[in-house]
Amino acid sequence: MTVESLSLIRVLSLGVTGLSCLGYAVMALATGVPDPVGWYWPGALGVGAALVITVASLIGGRRAARMATDELYRAVTQRAERQAYWLSLAMFAVVATVCARGLVPWDAGFAAFGCLMGAAFLLLFVWHDLRMR
C-alpha cells in the first residue's frame, strides 16, 4: 500500500464520518429530536474510520504510515484544529440563540452541537487536505 493510498483512505474515512456528524446534527435541529436516528451512529462511524485507517496503516507498513503523517499532514491538522475551534464558538452562539428563542428544544440543540463540533474539524481537515494536494 502506497503513501497516496493511505492518505486517500484517511481522507475518505474522515470525510464520511464528518458528513454523518453533519447529517445527524441537521436532522436533530430539523426534527427537534435529540436522536433522529440511532444515537450511536456518529460514534460508530468514527470508530469504524479509526479501524479502517489503523488497518490500512498496518497493511501499508511502518514506513508508509510515517510518510503519510508528514509535515503537510501536521500543517493540515493544525489549520483544521484552529479553524474548527472558532467555527465551533460561532456555532455555539447560533445554536444557543435558536434554542433560547424556543425554535429547537435544548436537548436537540445540545445533541446537534456535539455533532457539529466533530463535523467542523473532520470536514475542515478533508477540505484543507484536498486543497493542499
> What residues have CB less than 8 Å from 57, skipping those under 6 apart?
6, 64, 65, 68
pLDDT at 69: 84
Burial 40-71 (b: 16+ CB within 10 A, else e): ebbeebbeebeebbeebbeebeeebbebbeee
- For 48-87, what is each residue's pLDDT tens digit? 999 999 999 999 998 988 888 888 899 999 999 999 999 9
Judge whether residue 133 has pLDDT over 90.
no
Whose grid coordinates read 436537540? 108
Coil, strand or helix at 104: coil
12 vs 118: CA distance, rounded Å: 16
* Amino acid type, 77: T
- In percent, the amount of the chain with pLDDT more than 90 equals 83
- For 92-101, what is each residue's pLDDT tens digit? 999 999 999 9
For residue 112, give the nearest of 128, 88, 81 by alpha carbon: 88
pLDDT at 2: 86
